[in-house]
Amino acid sequence: MNIEKSKLKILIHNNLGADFEDQKESVERDLHNFAGQVAAFRQAEKMIAGLFEHYRKDLHEGTLEQEAFDHIDRAIKRSIGVCTNLGDKAHAMQLMKQGEANRLNTIIENLQKSITVERTKLEQVLEALDDDNLSDEEKREVVDGRPLQVVTGGASDAAEDINERRAEARQRKESAAQVEVSETTAAGSEQETAAGRRPKSRPKGSDTLKSRKAGGEAGTTTT
């Protein structure tokens, strides 16, 4: 794992996330705008349709001629058709913007997950590099090997893997210390045993004194 590249990746993802957030806000504004247009055109349809009943009542009461009513009827129907057409177009745009907003939400969520995983990987690696319980070889493996492969499945797996390595390293140190203590104790016992079996040394000059005594006794007997 290249630590600088990891930091750069986090920075790039953050910048991309900010850009997509801006796009999402713009799309959401358009979404609300089209939703308002749909509601307005649907309301206009109902209002114009209400005018038809009003003029038909005038026709029945004789205050409106049939020819005039026919012109009004055609105008009302055209107006309702225009409102329906515009409302349908606005609804189609609303659906399109909703799909775009959903897509941006998915992209932003994925970027956030990627940033979280990458940041966790980086923190775990930096923490492992400062851990004195890990050997240099294990630190190299943390940077280049297995933990990074595990992290792709989730940040918690990386933490668990590194914690296992630390536990193994501590166990090896404890075992080595116990072996060293055992060897020291065994060496001390062997030295004590060897000292107990060693024959007692005679005082210097004892053999010479015995020889002199024996020679004196022999001279007395000859006389």
> What is the per-residue pLDDT across 48-86, written as a single tens digit (0 to 9) for each?
988 888 888 888 888 888 888 899 889 999 999 999 999
Measured over the CA atoms of residue 41, residue 47, residue 50 and residue 52, the dihedral's sign is negative
Tell me which residue range forms the domain holding 142.
Answer: 131-194
In a domain, 202, yes or no: no
| Tokens read off for 7 | 């930091």
Q: Is residue 112 part of a domain?
A: yes
Same domain, 88 and 166: no
Q: Does 12 share its domain with 88?
A: yes
**Is residue 209 situated within a structural domain?**
no
60 and 25 in one domain?
Answer: yes
Q: Indicate the length of the chain as a whole number.
A: 223
Query: Of 38 and 144, which is predicted with more confidence?
Result: 38
How many domains does the structure of the chain reveal? 2
CA atoms within 13 A on the CB side of 147: 31
121-149 pLDDT tens trace: 877 777 766 666 556 565 565 555 444 33
The mean pLDDT value of the chain amounts to: 75
Mean pLDDT of 21-45: 94
